[in-house]
Structure 1
Amino acid sequence: MEDLGEMDCPVVKRFLKDDNAKCLLLDCRSFLAFNAGHIRGAVNARCYTIVRRRAKGTVLSLDQILAGDEEVRSRLRSGMYSAVVLYDERTPDSETVKEDSTLTLVLNAVCSYSSGTQIYLLKGGYDRFFSEYPEFCIKTKSLPTLTSQSSVDSACSSCGTPHHEQGGPVEILPFLYLGSALHASKKEVLDGIGISALLNVSADCPNHFEGAYQYKCIPVEDNHKEDISCWFLEAIEFIDSVRDSSGRVLVHCKAGISRSATICLAYLMKRKRVRLDEAFEFVRRRRSIISPNFSFMGQLLQFESQLLATSWVAEAASTASPLLGPKSSTTTTTSTTATATSPFIFNFPVSVVNPAYLHHSPLAASPGC
């Protein structure tokens, strides 16, 4: 911890007011905690638990802890920040930072890959800062309380409107919304939340406003025979393109429960580097009725396995781990074959799969939109 200084809350507040471009705040809490509330301008730094466990004794890369934040990584490597401030929930001082904590992993990564940057711990963490300066924090608006299925059924029968069509689309991320076909058919709803593109995850829901919005179709049915996973990367790229153009995309199917929820879960897993259970809880808190069918859940589990395997392989390669022997052409061929031919239903692999799958989409064989 000799490389870690300490910073009090008033100093961080002064940075935020006067010189926030040169001070980087790294929030070392979980994805769920960060999205529930964080200090204004902070970036979420974290890594998969399995990577943290396997990487004992090695330094994680900035790509591991800051996935999806390319500009921040570049500025760190170039020494463009005069200070980096780390914080978790409530660690009081540097002497109490645990060796196996995310704080320590982030500290080691920043020390190894940044150039001449002073690194500090925010004393008392987010809890103390929020108690003293709530106006400098961003809190998620209160989410509806999750209700039991019986109360949902009762509410639906009493109002005469299907539960999935009540309310409006929900915000998953500032540029990503989840909803139903009914929401996608109401232009005033779409314009009200600033939608510029729609991702239609169905084979039969019409695109009502072709001239007004950008559309993309993923023609899949909601049944156990469909391979929705072969569309994951194409869907993720489309959502990214809307985000990069400062737009907002509504992902919908018919009810906004299974197919479109599956795509949103895959996006969070890939781009936010979170496990399926964490992504599912995050989306469920915003749209409590999501329920991907059993086959789609199996495909998401396999996608998670591939992401975890790729993350670990990349980390091991970057640290030149002796645990990775020479690449076997036989193993690679077998792995590739298994990825391409094995059915998704009830197939939850735990072995390392071919990482190239995540970068070279097998979409050539997918049906046209």
Structure 2
Amino acid sequence: MIAIRPWLFLGKYRDTFELPPLQAQQIGAMLQFAGRVEYPEIQTLYIPIEDGVPVQREILEKGVQFILSQQQEGKKVMVSCGAGISRSVTFIIAALKETEDIPLLEAYQVVLNAHVGALPHPALWQSLCNYYQEEVPYWQLLKKYNRRGN
């Protein structure tokens, strides 16, 4: 589990099974894509999305609105997918865009600074670009990814 912002965390599917670390970070909500894992004290939304498949507008809105509503309630939110690389990163980029009013590529850089393995699938990146009407070619994302840590 990686902190992107004090209220926003990126996780892998296996992170959802470990309640003590979730409690230690005071996670109050989880958006999950790889499988449903629930705890009574944590608000959970499971959206079964496959990696590499474009995200429908309604699904993107549903996930992002969940993140934003939980944050507005003062909860820390963890977004998790199978490996914590693509699907969860996609929704965290959208949440950062919404909360900080920054361009998609800048939001990606924020995530990449915290998690050097962050790399949305091209289809997911294009879904974000379409939704936010920002035409950012995937090669620009790859350029940032290839420069990580430098």
Deviation at 1:228, TM superposition (A): 4.6
Query: RMSD between aligned alpha carbons?
Result: 2.0
Alignment-mate amino acid for residue 65 of structure 2: E
Matched with 1:240 is 68
**Equivalent-residue separation in structure 1 for 2:73 and 2:96 (angstroms):** 19
For the Cα contact (< 8 Å) 2:51–2:121, is it kept in 1? yes
Residue identity over aligned pairs, in percent, reads 26
Matched with 2:13 is 181
For the Cα contact (< 8 Å) 2:68–2:95, is it kept in 1? no
Matched with 1:217 is 46
**Equivalent-residue separation in structure 2 for 1:304 and 1:275 (angstroms):** 9
Q: 1:179-221 CA distances to partner (integer Å, 9 max, x unpaired)? A: 101111100110110101110123xx231x3323111011111
Match of 1:262 among 90, 95, 108: 90
Matched with 2:29 is 197
> Partner of 2:50: helix, strand, or coil?
coil
2:112 counterpart of 1:280: no
Q: 1:125-169 CA distances to partner (integer Å, 9 max, x unpaired)? A: xxxxxxxxxxxxxxxxxxxxxxxxxxxxxxxxxxxxxxxxxxxx1
Length, aligned pairs only: 136
Deviation at 1:267, TM superposition (A): 1.2
Q: Which structure exhibits the higher relative contact order, with contacts defined as CA atoms closer than 8 Å and separated by 6 or more residues?
A: 2
**Equivalent-residue separation in structure 1 for 2:66 and 2:122 (angstroms):** 25
**Equivalent-residue separation in structure 2 for 1:190 and 1:256 (angstroms):** 15
Deviation at 1:287, TM superposition (A): 0.8
In structure 2, runs of 5+ residues without a counterpart are 139-150
For the Cα contact (< 8 Å) 1:269–1:304, is it kept in 2? no
Matched with 1:249 is 77
Deviation at 1:303, TM superposition (A): 2.5
Matched with 1:305 is 133
> Partner of 2:79: helix, strand, or coil?
strand
For the Cα contact (< 8 Å) 1:220–1:228, is it kept in 2? no
> Partner of 2:27: helix, strand, or coil?
coil
Q: 1:27-81 CA distances to partner (integer Å, 9 max, x unpaired)? A: xxxxxxxxxxxxxxxxxxxxxxxxxxxxxxxxxxxxxxxxxxxxxxxxxxxxxxx
> Partner of 2:62: helix, strand, or coil?
helix
In structure 1, runs of 5+ residues without a counterpart are 1-168, 309-345, 347-369
TM-score (norm 2): 0.82
Deviation at 1:263, TM superposition (A): 0.4
- 1:81-160 mapped onto 2 (5 Å cutoff): none
**Equivalent-residue separation in structure 2 for 1:258 and 1:230 (angstroms):** 19
